[in-house]
Amino acid sequence: MKVMTLNQDKFYFSLLAGAKSVLKHKDTLNKINVFPVADGDTGTNLASLMNAILDESSADTSDKNKLLIVADRALEGARGNSGIIFAQYLNGLINELDTSKEDIDFESLLGAIDKAVPYAYDAVSEPVEGTMLTLMREWSETLALLKEKTQDITILLAESFDTLRHLLAETTEKLDVLKQNNVVDAGAKGFFHFVEGFMHYLRDGIMDEMYEDSFDANNSDNEGPENHEAFEEGDYRYCTEALITGENLSAKAIKKTLHDLGNSMVVAGNESKVRVHIHTNEPDKVFFRLRDFGHIKQQKVDDMKRQHEVRNARKYDTVIVTDSIADLPQTMVDRYQIQQIPLILTIEGSDYYDKLTITSDKFYQFMDELKDYPKSAQPNLKQMQNFFSYLSTYYKKIIVISVSSKMSGTHNVFKQAAKTLDDSVQIEVIDSKQNSGTQGLLVMRAAEMVDEGSKFKDIVQTLNTLRDKACILVSVKTLKYMVRGGRVSKATGVIGKITNLKPVISIDNTGEGIIFAKGFSVKMSTNKIFKHLEKVNQEHGIERYAIVHAKADARVTEYIAKAKAITGMDPIYTMDISTIVAMNAGIGTVAIAYITK
């Protein structure tokens, strides 16, 4: 019987079958992923989208909006370059159908497939042929040619699929990086499998069968492509994504706003919801600009440089992990390949990643304008479990150094996540009982010991000893920010303002924040800090120190001069503090962190 139309339910379940077909090939798609960067996550990114679609499969199929819901969930679940392009294609496909009608006729289906292609191309700032885009376009062109032979939808799709198989094979010759690795494009292969599942369900009502994959043969050894390109200094470092909701959103305007910040930009969506993907060196600037368009509902930043190093250029078999509260210069983090996990800062209802999607420099520009002061939160447990599992694939030993457990739940998240690893991985989670600069100094010392080839147990023992020799003294110019952040009571803030209190904050031996000394002027507080430093240097000696601050360059110059006069040493580093620390300490804060001999 010639199939001239299909009802919405049949079309809906065909989309679900396509999604399941992609999921079955996730690992292969990751393995052959070499473009636009060899980060091995195309399968994972497409799986995120497909799972978002399948989450709706339990919905009431009588819902007349079920196809529009699929389009919407595709945008929410989209990840990565290929995932966002695919989501936009699905949005185009569904939006171009007349969903008010129960049946979809032959011409309407082909017209929607054809009109979905520009949706996908328009989402990309610089379309590249030989990718998923090419296969989407060439499949539409193939359908247009074959429709002259038959108007049976199932026959048309089956014949077009044979051509699609050949077109996928040709992607190997269209991009040099694919040819060098002898693989087809991973995104294009994902699209191929989607069409495969879609077609088989329309024809046979089959949703769960695994189909033979002739494109896995080149990589049947599961090792993946051998010619990994090195991460060059000129490459953009961060794969950055956002989901924005609002009114009258313009993908074109968003592209124009972000065009100077990176490449591989994909912007997909509609007037109420837009998914953004861009490779950049400045994710904080990306999100700072996106704030003007609407509510930032989701954020994601992957460090492609660190990912490449983990997979292909590891210096050590032991990895140091810490959180973003540890103030340590990026140059040192990079030198020792340290994994730094961002804590979360909730600003105006959106969650930002400390030091990645929000930096202290950007935060200073609007912190006094916020009606509701930001809140901080520890990393997500499930994400940390996945992250430790990922590290355990490449490292034999993991040392985690957290911010004081008395100041944040981050230490407990690390401990809980570490329990999920099997005994083949040696992992130690250490409570630094410190924060900011002193935590940074401890992380630095641990990294140096790894670099020196020290034994795992010796590093752990040294850290447990050094944390009791570490101290930070923080000179706060105003209690205003501590009051707003809830660190001190409003009553204390009022008294402090009346008395012009300029406290010196420190951390006791249990990891609790304390008022170390009270000054009634910045000069008095500074004098108390250096009087203490002089005494400690005379009694024990200062092994190393660092100076951290919140937009207080003039005070830093003074601190360096005074500290050098006492210790005879320059600071091992100076830097701006993390956004979360800055949120509570406030602009003008300066601190000296040290470890005694």
The residue range of the domain holding 286 is 234-313
With beta carbons less than 8 A apart as the criterion, state whether 338 and 328 touch.
yes
User: Tell me: the pLDDT tens digits for 362-388?
Assistant: 888 877 777 787 888 999 998 899 899
CATH number of the domain encompassing residue 263: 3.30.70.980
Angle (CA) 400 404 408, round 5°: 100
Alpha-carbon torsion angle 148, 154, 97, 81, nearest 10: -100
The answer to whether residues 244 and 183 belong to one domain is no
pLDDT in the model for residue 208: 66
H/E element, 438: helix 436-452
pLDDT of the residue at 272: 94
Q: Whole-angstrom Cα distance, residue 370 to residue 77?
A: 30
Give the chain's residues under pLDDT 50: 217-223, 227, 488-489, 491-496, 498-499
Last residue of a domain, one of 297, 313, 329: 313
pLDDT at position 60 is 55
- Number of structural domains the chain divides into: 3
Same domain? For 292 and 145 the reply is no
Q: What are phi and psi of 404, to 5 degrees?
A: -45, 130
Tell me, yes or no, whether 43 and 90 share the same domain. yes
The last residue of one of the domains, among 209, 224, 248, is 209
Question: Are residue 57 and residue 109 in the same domain, yes or no?
Answer: yes
Ordered DSSP codes for 397-411: EEEEEESPTTT-THH
Is 22 part of any domain?
Answer: yes
- Condensed to tens digits (0 to 9), the pLDDT of residues 493-504 reads 444 454 466 889
572 inside domain? yes
Q: Is residue 492 part of a domain?
A: yes
| d(C-alpha 278, C-alpha 443), whole Å | 31
Q: Are residues 203 and 238 in the same domain?
A: no
The answer to whether residues 506 and 553 touch, using CB atoms and an 8 Å cutoff, is no
Whether residue 69 contacts residue 56, with contact meaning beta carbons closer than 8 Å, is answered with yes
CATH of the domain at 475: 3.30.1180.10
Whether 380 and 324 have beta carbons less than 8 Å apart is answered as no
What pLDDT does 202 receive? 85
Helix locations, 313-367, DSSP H: 330-335, 360-364
Q: Establish if 485 belongs to a structural domain.
A: yes
- Tell whether 148 and 249 lie within a shared domain: no
Do you find a cis peptide bond into 283, omega within 30 degrees of 0?
A: no
For residues 153 and 280, state if they share a domain: no
Question: Looking at the domain assignment, is residue 95 inside a domain?
Answer: yes
Residue 38's pLDDT is 77
Using the 3D structure, point to which of 279, 313, 347 is the last residue of a domain: 313
The pLDDT, as a whole number, for residue 223 is 45
Q: If we measure between CA atoms, which residue out of 238, 193, 177, 166 comes closest to residue 86?
A: 193
What is the residue type of 480?
A: K
Exposed / middle / buried, residue 226 (Cβ in 10 Å: 0-12, 13-18, 19+):
exposed
What is the spatial distance between Cα 567 and Cα 534, in angstroms, rounded to a whole number? 8
* Pairwise CA distance, residues 305 & 307, whole Å: 5
Stretch (H or E) spanning 262:
strand 262-269
- Residue type present at position 314: R
Q: How far is 410 from 412, CA to CA, in rounded Å?
A: 5
